[in-house]
A and B are shown apart, each in its own frame.
Chain A
């Protein structure tokens, strides 16, 4: 059971380049998320998708776009990368249940924009 798989694990971009971070989950979860983590700032929500075909902005959506391709896959796109987007990006998925809501995270993508 792979859980949440993110690709790539590491990436270096030049300012202005674009790229797409891929995420897939095999747990049949409805909700999927993209977070960024910067030192001392915890995890900040970029975008989330409550179900296939829907996406909503989180705390820090500027400079990013997302696509919920199907129930399994949720991608994050940087159209024109900036040094401020240097961060570790985590994808997560979850299923809301009455007594327990556990989010499962991918291993992260370490992105450096130079």
Chain B
């Protein structure tokens, strides 16, 4: 079957760096996205990797290795406002259909 695996929770202190790993197994794969969700609100887009390598957007970076079916989201210089759930999502067809992982709860402590 199709699945995306990511850790359920990560805790870190302000200013630290956190890496959230995502391994995927899907019947089709066009790219890997990351979304942030605060307190059950609307998920918001962070990044998308269609090709292998690192994409950097401010304090957040995302990496993809298609050969390893693996990606990660790197959160640097953690701030309290980064406490949220983070989801990886695989695009599984050419129309952009997404399948989501179960999410990683990031808890930032002072």
The closest CB in chain B to the CB of A41 belongs to B102
Interface size on A, residues (CB 8 A): 33
Q: Is B48 part of the binding interface, using a Cβ–Cβ cutoff of 8 Å?
A: yes
Given contacts A42-B87, A43-B87, A98-B50, A103 and B98 within 8 Å (CB-CB): yes
Instruction: Please give, as numbers and ranges, the residues of chain A lying within 8 Å of B45 by CB-CB distance.
Output: 102-104
Distance, CA A96 to CA B93, complexed state (A)? 10
The closest CB in chain A to the CB of B33 belongs to A101
Q: Is the interface of A mostly helix, strand, loop or mixed?
A: loop
Q: Hey, what's the 0/1 contact readout for B83-109 against A, CB within 8 Å counting as 1?
A: 000010101001111111111000000
Q: How many A-B residue pairs have CB under 8 A?
A: 76
Which stretch (B36-44, B63-71, B73-81) binds chain A?
B36-44
Q: Is the CB of B48 within 8 A of A100?
A: yes
Distance, CA A100 to CA B57, complexed state (A)? 13
Distance, CA A43 to CA B85, complexed state (A)? 12
How many B residues touch the partner, as a band? 20 to 34
Distance, CA A95 to CA B96, complexed state (A)? 7
Looking at the assembled complex, report how far the CB atom of A31 sits from the nearest CB atom of chain B, in whole angstroms.
Answer: 5
Q: Hey, what's the 0/1 contact readout for A30-68 against B, CB within 8 Å counting as 1?
A: 110101010011111100101100001011000000000
Q: Is the CB of B96 within 8 A of A31?
A: yes
Select which of B48, B91, B94, B102 is within 8 A of A40 by beta carbon: B102
- B residues sitting closer than 8 Å to A (CB atoms) are 8, 30-31, 33, 35, 40-45, 48, 50, 87, 89, 91, 94-103
Given contacts A42-B87, A50-B96, A108-B41, 10 further A-B contacts (CB under 8 A): A30-B95, A42-B101, A43-B43, A45-B100, A48-B97, A88-B40, A101-B31, A101-B33, A101-B96, A103-B98
21 A-B contacts (beta carbon < 8 Å): A35-B100, A42-B102, A42-B103, A43-B87, A43-B100, A44-B100, A45-B97, A45-B100, A48-B95, A50-B96, A58-B97, A90-B43, A96-B94, A100-B48, A102-B33, A102-B48, A103-B35, A105-B42, A106-B42, A107-B41, A108-B41
